[in-house]
Amino acid sequence: MDDQTHANDAKNIGHHSSPLEMITHMTPTDLPYQKIDTLSSKEPELARNSSASSQNVKEKSNLRQFYCQFDPKHRSGRSLVLKFDIFGNSYFEEMSRIDVLRMTEEAAKEREQDNECIHVVPMATSVSPRAGSKTFPRPQRSSNADRMDNALHGGICDVQRVHARDIRKLNNVYAVSNEPSIVLRKQAILVNADPIRALVMRDACLVFVPDGADSLLSLLKEKFHESNQDMTTQAFELRALEALLATLCRIFESDYEKMAPVVISALDRLANGKIGTNELDTLRTYKNTINEFESQVDGVRRALMEILDNEEDLRLLYLTKLHKNPSLLTDLWSFDSEEVEAMIENYLQDIYTTRTKANLMQHRIQNTESLVMMKLDYSRNYLLGVELLFSLVALGVSIGTYVTGIFGMNLASGIPEQPVYFYGTVVITGIAIIVIVVAGVFFFRRQGVYL
């Protein structure tokens, strides 16, 4: 009876199309990964063995720490997601990674009539770009070249589905070191550019909400509302991508506008005021801030340039068109991508403008740093000159001390009884000190050292 039950369960599990659905329909006892106690089979033997020592019990407790702790009932935490529909309406929803993955799998499913249409396409005939379309050069990278050859020979473009690792990257904690990226998957666009982490589909857009992002969310809603004003002439995924890029550009511009006046005023104080330890630490802080900002902006620029340089990726952005007509995957060059190309170039220009401003600010900081170093060098040279001047004075005084020391010795010369010799010695010694100092100053000036 138990064998028949397990056979029916295995048969029911086999009807599911994806591994995710198989896992969700399994019971905890059917899952391949469970918490296993490998010593459970040895416990009766250890209990019967009277010679077991306490050391074995200790080793047993230590081994339990390394067992598989996978529990299907305790999944990863749920994240707060801002979801936009095709009409631009937004609402908050708590979703786990499995929920997001299941949603992308549903979006990637093709209709039955679409599957029938795509099988009708002759696979042996070569497909060339339609008449009047722009002839695109072969991409330089080998992976793109293989895809183009596949398309030109009638093969379906191999587009990967969204994987769990893609969702995990989107759900990671914010970090400056994260490289911005725009990844294309089957019926999904993954935008990973801090502080925006979004997943765009043909009928929905999921934005992972970071902590303390009230201004970001309000700006996102505003941009989605603006992009949906002309919702009849553009697909939803392009409107969503445009809203995300517009939000990124606005965030970068706003961050620079907040940062620039503070940095400029601090640089002016450093250039015109006295230089101290606090001012140097302030210069270091602003320099690091500008470096992080420039790196973030430049990362988004590189991600957009990679999409813009790959003609195949530009066409894969048309999720709605590829879903309605899957046969286009056999020849992505049968339709133009000028619309999305113009959109990316527009926002790329805005990002490049912000990057140029940040680069100019970085050069201004470097110039101020050079000026500060020149001031410090001047101060150090001035102190060295003062030290040299005092050394000359000390040399003259030491000569006078030598002369007075000679006359102060207890020798019978008759000079101490004559007052005129005392005054003469003082005057001659003073003149000698002045002559030595002045001669030393003129000598060093002729050598290029100004005291």
Residue 53 has pLDDT above 50, yes or no: no
Nearest Cα neighbor of 184 from 313, 344, 322 is 313
User: What's the mean pLDDT when you consider all of the chain?
Assistant: 73
Q: Indicate whether 56 and 160 sit together in one domain.
A: no
Looking at the structure, do residues 163 and 104 belong to the same domain, yes or no? yes
pLDDT score of 143: 46
Report the run of H or E that residue 185 belongs to, with start and end. Answer: strand 181-185
Is pLDDT of 313 > 60? yes
Domain extent, residue 417, equals: 382-446
Identify whether the C-beta of residue 415 lies closer than 8 Å to the C-beta of residue 404.
no
For residues 95 and 199, membership in a common domain is answered with: yes
Check: CB of residue 399 under 8 Å from CB of residue 436.
yes
SS3 state at 83: strand
Better pLDDT: 173 or 45: 173
Percent of the chain with pLDDT over 90: 17
Q: Do residues 22 and 96 share a domain?
A: no
Q: Domain for residue 411, yes or no?
A: yes
For the chain, the farthest-separated pair of C-alpha atoms sits apart, in whole angstroms, at 139
Structure tokens belonging to residue 272: 């015109």
Amino acid 252: pLDDT: 93
Domain assignment of residue 341, yes or no: yes
The rounded percent of the chain whose pLDDT value lies above 70 is 68
Q: What is the mean pLDDT of residues 407-427?
A: 70
With respect to residue 72, please indicate whether it lies within any of the assigned structural domains. no
Instruction: Examine residue 245 and state whether it is found in any structural domain, yes or no.
Output: yes
- Which of these, 218, 278, 282, lies nearest to 254 by C-alpha position? 218
Domain boundary at 375, 398, 422, which? 375
Lowest-confidence region among 38-42, 100-104, 216-220, 415-419: 38-42
Among 344, 375, 406, the domain boundary falls at 375
pLDDT for 230 beyond 80: no
Of residues 69 and 272, the one with the higher pLDDT is 272
Q: How do beta strands 188-193 and 204-208 pair? A: unpaired
- Residue 352 has what pLDDT? 93
Determine the average pLDDT of the residues in 358-387: 88
Mean pLDDT of 124-134: 36
Domain end, chosen from 43, 66, 89, is at 66
Residue 73 lies in a domain: no
